[in-house]
Amino acid sequence: MTNLIFVYGTLKRGFTNYERYLGVAVASGGATFVGEGMTSEPFPLVIRPAHMPPTTCGPVLMDQAEGHEGNQIIGEVFRVDDRCLEAMDVLEGVKSGYYYKRSTSIRMEDAILMQCDAYFYPPNGELLALPLQPAYTAEHHALYQPGPVNQQILALCQGASRHGLSTTVPCPMAVHCLRLLPGDDVLTSLQAFIKERGISAAAILSCVGSTGQTVLRPAGVPAPRTFSSKYEILSLSGTFGAQGHHLHMSISDPDCAVFGGHVMKGCLVRTTAEIVLGEIQGVRFSRPQDPRTGYDELSIDMIACDTSQSAAKRLKQ
């Protein structure tokens, strides 16, 4: 990652386009936060008025214009790879001539100067007449009206053949509850439940119940093992998505001997299985092969979702 960019608006951490795009690149390994800084030169920074298209009320940074000194602008520096830089160019409309990108000197908190690319809007008389801001704040961001998520930008931020290793922001959770009946297959029942409700990322929060026939694959063993007796479910844990799952179960027999392993088809409910399932919103779980392990591993991908919307509000709608 050889590119340094200075962001001063909605791409800053905690704001909408960080959550949608730049933070996704951070989670995917395509970007790294370097630190907070301030432009060495003063620039005019204003908030676009609601009547001026695009009607986002977003921040606008302009290059120095005669008679408009501006302020030294506070922002954040990120080191990004070429794909992430391309994504930022698309977001800012560089190829269409909407914004342009040029290098500017940024003084970091430790007083070190760094040359970073920043995105500028051509000086505009109407905008230059607006109050000049030293920084884009949370109060300004409360007025921001973003458009829909751009899938091209999102794909570039997710990177090529990368596994997302973490969420970029805290994500709301919706909770589902279900009870399985005698004879139900634990795995296939959960798969059907996930598919029916269109859940893209979920975690098992709790499970209490019992099994009769139970099919588990022990660690490091390619062939599953079938247990045939009366068992209590001590634990069921793991993650679920539309593209796959990773579930572990532990059971105890009448002598309190405990067995465990990967859950396979054939784990049949004996009396009941009371399951609480957490749906993680704004996230998609997938399982592409990871060359680092040779296995299909979990990829945690932020998706086109308003992650600031609470689960309760979503369910109410």
Q: In the chain, what are the domains?
A: 3-158 (3.10.490.10), 173-316 (3.30.1330.80)
Based on the residue annotation, tell me whether 41 is a catalytic residue of this protein: no
- Please report, in tens digits, the pLDDT of each residue of the chain (317 residues total): 689 999 999 999 999 999 999 999 998 888 999 999 999 999 999 999 999 988 999 999 998 766 667 999 999 999 999 999 999 999 999 988 899 999 999 999 888 999 999 999 998 889 999 999 999 999 999 999 999 999 899 989 987 556 777 887 789 999 999 999 999 999 999 999 999 999 999 999 999 999 999 999 998 888 999 999 999 999 999 999 888 899 999 999 999 999 999 999 999 999 999 999 999 998 989 888 776 677 888 988 877 554 444 344 434 44
CA 296 to chain centre: 20
Residue range 32-49, pLDDT digits in tens:
999 999 999 999 999 999
pLDDT given at position 304:
55
Q: Which amino acid is at 156?
A: L
d(C-alpha 262, C-alpha 221), whole Å: 10
- State the catalytic residue, choosing from 19, 76, 86, 92: 92
Q: Residue 133 contacts by C-beta under 8 Å, 6 or more apart in sequence?
A: 45, 46, 47, 59, 71, 140
Asked if 284 contacts 298 with a C-beta cutoff of 8 angstroms, the reply is no
Asked if 49 contacts 143 with a C-beta cutoff of 8 angstroms, the reply is no
